Amino acid sequence: MPRIPLVENKESLTPEHRLVYEAIGKSRGEVRGCFPALLHVPPIADHTASLGGYLRFDGKLEPKVRTLAAMTASREFDCIHEWAASVRNAEKNKVSRETLVAVHQRQPTTGLPPDEAEIVDYARDLIYRHRVSEAAVESLRARLGVAGLVELTATIGYYAMISCTLNAFELTSSPNPKDFPI
């Protein structure tokens, strides 16, 4: 049960803010997830949708890297809504089952495909240590380029913010995955 009233239709917004509601619905097919809460402050909802739209639809990261970043952040924040989406995207974007299990069970990344382990470790370090090693930065910069490294870092931060919003207000519109519940 949500902890705050949700903005469930555009009629509850001022005329100028209805455009934000409509744009979010158009870009995502419907207004759901964190947006019915964020729409209490339409500029925040608008900027969040814009950033998320870029990262999800227009960003340059390969889908597998983006999925690993989202999956790790949402799992580390125990966010059912985003975790469920990540589990669905993992197979589609060729994330190994071993990595999905390791992220789900918060296991070390030793023995995982190195390209996947590197992203999971980077995200975990940012979330738990609030820092990353020089070696991790250099390795990912060589692999993704500077712009890719910045986009990866922003993706992790975006999904952490979304997870915090969903968790704080107890929002979920996705069922907990049966094989990988949190």
Tokens 């490294």: give the residue. 149
* Whole-number pLDDT of residue 173: 74
pLDDT band at 179 (very low <50, low <70, confident <90, very high): confident
173: closest CA among 11, 21, 29?
29
Give residue-wise pLDDT tens across range 112-170: 999 999 999 999 999 999 999 999 999 999 999 999 999 999 999 999 999 999 999 99
Contact present, 95 and 64 (Cβ < 8 Å):
yes
Q: Which long-range contacts (CB under 8 A, 24 or more apart) does 113-120 make?
A: 115/143, 116/64, 116/68, 118/143, 119/65, 119/68, 119/69, 119/72, 119/152, 120/68, 120/72
Domains recognised in the chain with CATH numbers: 10-58 (no CATH), 63-167 (1.20.1290)
